[in-house]
Structures are given as C-alpha cells and as structure tokens.
Amino acid sequence: MPLIQNNHYRPPIYLRSGHFQTIYPTLFRKVPLVTDERERIKTPDGDFIDLDWKRSQPSKKLVVISHGLEGHGHSQYCQGMARTLVQDGWQVCIWNFRGCSGEPNHRLQSYHSGATEDLQCVINHILKSKHYEHISLIGFSLGGNLSLKYIAEAGHNLPANIRSAVGVSVACDLESCAKKLERWDNRIYMRRFLKSLTDKVRYKMECFPGEIKDHGLKTMRTFQQFDDAYTAPIHGFKDANEYWSQCSCGPKLSDIQIPTLLVNAQDDPFLTSKCFPYETARDSKFLNFEATKYGGHMGFMLGLQTTQNYAELRTSQFLKEYA
C-alpha cells in the first residue's frame, strides 16, 4: 500500500501547535450525541461491556469504534467520527472499555492497551446477528493500538466480515510513549491520566479488600510506576516493561491482512519516532501510513468553528475506497 507523504492537511497557522491541537478539542469541542441506544453484553469471565449504538438507518455496513485511554463512548472524538460515518451510510457501534461507561465494572481486572479479548467479545456479539457484510474497526490512541494489534494477530484468520481498519494517533510503541509523557512539557497530560486511573484503583481497593493495595498512589508521577504496581500484575504481566512489549502493535503491523489506514501527526506530544512505521508501510500490501505535519493528539482541527476534523474526513474518504 502507498506510504502517504504529501497529505492535504494544512491547518491555519494558529492551529500549528501540537499542544493546542491536543488540548483545545478536549476542552471546547462540542459534538451533539449521535449514538442513541446503549446495549450491555456479558463477557466470558462474568463482567460486562456497554455498547453505544447508532443503527436507526438500514445498512449492511458497520464501524466499531474503540476510544482512547480513560475515554468513553460519548467522548467528542468518538461522536464526531460517528456523525461523519452515519452521514456516509454506516451504522455505528462504540464500545466502552471496562469501567469507562459511567459504571464501574464487576471484576478486579479492567482494560489495558492489549486487551484484544474484549474487542473479540464485542465482535463475536455483533457477528451473531449475521447482519453486516462490511465491518470496519476504528481506534483512537490506546483504542487504535488495540484495534491494530487485534487485526495483526488475527492475520488471515480475521472474520471475513471485517474488511478494513483505521487508527488515529496510535501509540504504536507503548514504552517510548510512556517515557515521553514523563517530560516536563507533558505533565498536564500525565497528571490528568493518573488522577483518573488512581481514582479507579482506590475504588477497586474498597470493592476487593486484600486483593489490591495502595502502592504509593499519592506519590505516583509516571506510567512506569502505575503500570508496574497495577496494570501489569492485575492483568498477568511481570512488570510494566513486559506489558508494554507484549501489547504494542508496532512490531505486528507487517502482519495486517486487510486495508488499513494509520494517521499520526508529527507534532503529537504523546508519540515518538517508533510510532511512525515508514518502512513497514513501504513493504506492506495493506498498511497505508500517513504522517501529517500537524494535528497534535487526536486534534486534526481544520478551524475553531468547523464541525469536522481532518481525521474524520480522511477516514470517510478511505472507507469509501474500500467499502
């Protein structure tokens, strides 16, 4: 597949800041709620996953959207993508990771960057309807890593209905991105993520006394500390390094066997050079990699008042080519 180097995304000068593109949409972009139906499904281990649907119009095409770290189905970037694709004739399913739908999940385990078994659970539920001829997986940030990891590991065994995929602002190398977020200029993001994550751990400590302890939550300042203490041991990894190594999608991208678009911005404050798989895309028949000069992390704004962003328009264009 082509390596897309000369893309058409040229935002106004006042939007050519990775930090502004990352922060402004999170705080100020308002997208009317597109999904209008919530469905709860059970997981094989006795937990639940909540799905947010938009399927009022008849269609044989479905997009399954995976949100980012500590996001949810109502996040503006998920609803913005849903709005664009509903206009293109797609039905939409946004799945909320465990504990992200507004209600704590039932088990000690939550979600993580490589929890493809939960995505598989969602897909199995969808396939039971035998309704969709074309399913496309779309993932943002952590959800992008998870989605691309899933299709890469499945390879030729991917369900035939899943015919395309898109990843936006994907942290393809978890270790280097975790380290980059430790930098002083990224403290605002790290603090926000850790505040949300540690609050959930404190709740789990009340629900599962003796099974999870306080390993210095007040003093945690990095993902290394948090993942070493909680994410890794709770989900069966030796430590943060093993978790990051096994769950990063980057090394697996060459195994993708369906048309896939990956869009990462060069000024994304979360990403490192390991998240820009130029060589893999050059050698792949299926991976389209587009590195925009601007866009920040899940920003890709076209203007302060525009209703759509570049990632949504580019995804729409890509899916029209392969649907």
Q: Within its chain, how far is the Cα of 218 from the centroid?
A: 27
From the candidates 47, 173, 227, 268, give the one annotated as an active-site residue. 268
Active site residue 297: yes
**Token pair 């800041």 is at which residue?**
17
Residue 141 bears catalytic tag = yes
How confident is the model at residue 8, as a pLDDT?
Answer: 82
Q: Which of 67, 112, 235, 297 is catalytic?
A: 297
| Cα 270 from Cα 23, distance rounded (Å) | 12
| 113 among known catalytic residues | no
Q: How many CA atoms within 13 Å lie on the side-chain side of 195?
A: 6
Q: Which of 141, 147, 176, 248 is catalytic?
A: 141
- What tens-digit pLDDT sequence spans the chain (323 residues)? 555 655 789 999 999 999 999 999 999 999 999 999 999 999 999 999 999 999 988 999 999 999 999 999 999 999 999 999 999 999 999 999 999 999 999 999 999 999 999 999 999 999 998 899 999 999 999 999 999 999 999 999 999 999 999 999 999 999 999 999 999 999 999 999 999 999 999 999 999 998 999 999 999 999 999 999 999 999 999 999 999 999 999 999 999 999 999 999 999 999 999 999 999 999 999 999 999 999 999 999 999 989 999 999 999 999 999 87
Domains of the chain plus CATH, in order, are 3-173+249-322 (3.40.50.1820), 175-247 (no CATH)
Task: Please tell me the predicted confidence (pLDDT) of residue 2.
Answer: 56
The answer to whether 112 and 226 have CB atoms below 8 angstroms apart is no
What is the value of pTM for the model shown? 0.96
